[in-house]
Chain A
Amino acid sequence: MEDCLAKKMEITVSEAEKRTGRNAMNIQETYTAYLIETRAVESQSEGQCAPVDSLWRRYSEFELLRNYLSVTYPHIVVPPLPEKRADFVWHKLSADNMDPDFVERRRIGLENFLLRVASHPILCQDKIFYLFLTQEGGWKEMVNETGFQLKADSRLKALNATFRVKNPDKRFTELKHYSDELQSVISHLLRVRARVADRLYGVYKVHGNYGRVFSEWSAIEKEMGDGLQSAGHHMDVYAASIDDILEEEEHYADQLKEYLFYAEALRAVCRKHELMQYDLEMAAQDLTSKKQQCEELATGTVRTFSLKGMTSKLFGQETPEQREAKLKVLEEQIQEGEEQLKSKNLEGRDFVKSAWADIERFKEQKNHDLKEALISYAVMQISMCKKGIQVWTNAKECFSKM
């Protein structure tokens, strides 16, 4: 972590701005642009601070960056972006992407993403990432020039591999299982939490009605009037307090969401492993069958049925010269194949080693972050309880003066 970018550079996503422009298809659209500000951290900043550099990026550019990183570093659990569309909303929250609260939370999420990447020992060294932060114009072209899209594995290929791979590393199978379960449980949690928030909102708001009726009632009372009136005011305070409480809780929900999306990043690494392993298995299989063919040709025995064998039987045997030529080709192919297999094996082992190192790093990060999230959630609940006690104690005092 000593060399990571985060230590050398201050990064913030400080502003969000609504923009209109023409997209690739020349259609007018509205989108939000985010201001990224960076400043070099002087190890001993006496006197002036380094100047602040800034540039604007929109969400789709962040997506492009992340895609690039995922493809270029398939053995890394790449930090996720905040959600594209508002999900798991409870009724009062807007599902509108242009809603200022959503934009604000997204701004924080994007900043978090950049900081995560900048703190990653490997990712932070990436040139494209650095340019994303520092060079506004022409960045897109540079990313495309890396040709990373060509390296991307097709979804279909990956799915195929998942089903057909025979001997994946057991740890990855377990990890895949874990990330599926994690996704499922966090989704469930977020859904129920949203419903809980909805209901809690209802409970608090109905208390506001006490405010009005106590006020009306106090009008016809003599001695009881003042006590009722002031108690009613506290009921209004109580009803209003839920807005801030639930807004704060959204940050907790966002922390959970990050790990929900992280689960997908974990899955991506497992998929890559499965792909590589499948590729390896296919290559080994291919090599074996070629060696077999070689043997058959050399000895003249046909051990397996083949169309070639049939045709040669039907249309006559090959000439010895033809057989020689074939053998030679096969032997070349086998040699190539063996070298390829060797390098694939090496690749696979390297992948497993480096992926697993990053996964261990990720696990520690996850445990630390989620613990912090749970603590902050408990602190929020404690604060909510204390506010409740305060309000009702105040109300009780008013009632006692009735």
Chain B
Amino acid sequence: AAGVPKPLPSSGPKSLREMPHPLATSSSEEMGPALTPSPDLLLPRSIADKDLSLPNGTPVDTSSPASSSSLLNRLQLDDDLDGETRDLFVTVDDPKKHVCTMETYITYRVTTKTTRAEFDLPEYSVRRRYQDFDWLRNKLEESQPTHLIPPLPEKFVVKGVVDRFSEEFVETRRKALDKFLKRITDHPVLSFNEHFNVFLTAKDLNAYKKQGMALLSKMGESVKYVTGGYKLRNRPLEFAAIGEYLDTFSLKLGTIDRIAQRIIKEQLEYLVELREYGPVYSTWGGLEVELSEPLEGVSACIGNCCTALEELSEDMTEDFLPVLREYILYSESMKNVLKKRDQVQAEYEAKLEAVALKKEDRPKVPTDVEKCQDRVECFNADLKADMERWQNNKRQDFRQLLMGMADKNIQYYEKCLTAWESIIPLLQDKPETK
């Protein structure tokens, strides 16, 4: 059983007073003693351990140990995770279907490569299913309520409409889960979260999950900012602006989602007609002698355009729409964090007011009011930092997404162009004089 939860550089279990501010530059020395990995966590002692298996007994294939010495030597802890100093890499791939008596589900391989001291080993490979990701997200929300937690792809799918074991669906989900973990990995605070660590490394996640529940009630691990009943009078301007921005942003994304869906629908209806159109040329070709080849050529050409169009619609469905929806979900969860912040501020203001009303000549403000003030300031700082990071990532993500959309359309037209250009010589061909 795990012992005392590791103190981490986050506004988690430790007293805020003792914590260095997340935005303050932190040096390895400060972090040093706190980062010795707890020996009590269930971590595989050796990667060559052949006992690794999933809860249901399916053996897990692990990656072979890379040369870790060079990586270990690069121990460097930095809040600032740009490409050069990155020390944690996480990938989600290799979906596999598991058929059990009770249920059928998909697991994904989660591979971690790292030089961080929080990790015993430089590499890990575990298998996780969607509910594990869901658990992780909930734990992150609980333990890091002042931060923006990336969204997960939608949990439920409409039965009969989507086949949740189809290749396309699984691949779309895999990409989204990969994105989810990468966003956490890139976050200077979330990436050091204990639950995240366990998620990436634990052989038996379910056991940890159960412990976690017990721990929760005993140790009061999560700082619940559920203050209840406090109403904020005025949201500070900058947060009001963020709230308004998110409202309009998710509205516009919703519109774009609808437009994209409509385009796909129209394209598929166009495809239906094209599929009837092409073969008629072929039928005509069967009637003719000299025109037979040209007509067949046109028929084949239209067929090629059909294929290209199919690919375009598929790509848009699988790559474009999910990312839009992800960002809409993101906006929703961010708005909730804003509301939580409002509540923390409301609590503080209420308590402050209560003190002021007492009119006692107290030289200092009571500690619990001070604590509230700290909470507010911390929350605001975390949120602002995350917002900035989010805006940057959003810009890159949408730049990539929209360029991708343009690219797919360019590729579609290029395929069609090639098809039509290639039949021109066929059409211009003079028949041999007999």
Contacts and interface: CB of A to CB of B under 8 A. Distances in A.
Interface string A270-291: 0000000000000000000000
A193 B302 CA distance: 12
Interface stretch (A5-13, A41-49, A144-152, A203-211): A203-211
A381 B301 CA distance: 11
Interface string B285-303: 0011011001100100100
Contact of A189 (B245, B266, B280, B399): B280
B331 to A, nearest CB: 12
A399 B417 contact: no
B280 A192 contact: yes
B413 A389 contact: yes
Contact of A396 (B273, B406, B412, B421): B406
B28 interface: no
A310 interface: no
B266 to A, nearest CB: 4
A304 interface: no
A258 to B, nearest CB: 15
Contacts of A374: 294-295, 298, 427
Contact of A207 (B263, B395, B421): B263
A386 interface: yes
A1 interface: no
Interface stretch (B1-9, B56-64, B254-262): B254-262
Q: Max chain A CB contacts within 10 Å: which of B262, B276, B417?
A: B417
A398 to B, nearest CB: 9
Nearest to B255: A213
Contacts of B277: 189, 192-193, 196
Contacts of B402: 231, 395, 399, 402
Interface stretch (A19-27, A108-116, A122-130, A178-186): A178-186
Contact of A206 (B266, B298, B409): B266
A326 interface: no
Contacts of A31: none
A203 B265 CA distance: 9
B259 A209 contact: yes
Residue of A200, A206, A207, A379 with most partner-chain B CB within 10 A: A206
Contact of B270 (A203, A371, A389): A203
Best-surrounded residue of B248, B272, B412, B413 (most CB of chain A within 10 A): B413
Given A196-B277, A210-B259, A385-B413, A402 B420 contact: no
Contact of B417 (A196, A385, A392): A385
A227 B395 CA distance: 11
Interface in A383-401: 385-386, 388-389, 392-393, 395-396, 399-400
A213 B256 contact: yes
Contacts of B410: 388-389, 392-393, 396
B308 to A, nearest CB: 10
Contact of B409 (A199, A209, A386, A392): A392
A206 B263 CA distance: 6
B287 A199 contact: no
A385 B416 contact: yes
B414 interface: yes
Given A375-B428, A382-B421, A402-B395, A220 B403 contact: no
Nearest to B409: A392
Contacts of B416: 381, 385
A227, A378, A379: which has the most chain B beta carbons within 10 Å?
Answer: A378
Contact of B406 (A195, A370, A378, A392): A392
Contacts of B256: 210, 213, 217
B175 to A, nearest CB: 20
B409 A388 contact: yes
A227 to B, nearest CB: 8
Contacts of B281: 189
Nearest to A208: B259
A167 interface: no
A199 B284 contact: no
A399 B409 CA distance: 14
A224 B395 contact: yes
Contacts of B283: 185, 188
Contact of A216 (B252, B262, B421): B252
A141 interface: no
A378 B417 contact: no
A195 B269 CA distance: 10
Contacts of A181: 287
Given A185-B280, A186-B284, A196-B274, A224 B398 contact: yes
A199 B270 CA distance: 5
A378 B298 contact: yes
B206 interface: no
B190 to A, nearest CB: 25
Contact of B269 (A186, A192, A193, A202): A202
A306 interface: no
A188 B280 contact: yes
Contacts of A220: 245, 248-249, 252
A60 B398 CA distance: 62
Interface string A161-194: 0000000000000000010011001101100110
Contacts of B280: 185, 188-189, 192
Interface in A210-239: 210, 213, 216-217, 220, 223-224, 227, 231
Nearest to B280: A189
Contacts of A206: 259, 262-263, 266
A385 B428 contact: no
A28 interface: no
B381 interface: no
Contacts of B298: 374, 377-378
B282 to A, nearest CB: 10
B287 A381 contact: no
Interface of A: 178, 181-182, 185-186, 188-189, 192-193, 195-196, 198-200, 202-203, 206-207, 209-210, 213, 216-217, 220, 223-224, 227, 231, 367, 370-371, 374-375, 377-379, 381-382, 385-386, 388-389, 392-393, 395-396, 399-400, 402
Q: Sorted from nearest, which 3 A-B pairs have the closest CB atoms?
A: A396-B406, A199-B270, A385-B417
12 contacts: A209-B259, A231-B402, A371-B294, A378-B423, A378-B424, A381-B420, A382-B420, A385-B417, A389-B410, A389-B413, A392-B406, A402-B395
Interface of B: 245, 248-249, 252, 255-256, 259, 262-263, 266-267, 269-270, 272-274, 276-277, 280-281, 283-284, 287-288, 290-291, 294-295, 298, 301, 395, 398-399, 402-403, 406-407, 409-410, 412-414, 416-417, 420-421, 423-424, 427-428
Given A374-B427, A388-B409, A395-B406, 5 more contacts: A181-B287, A192-B280, A381-B416, A392-B409, A400-B403
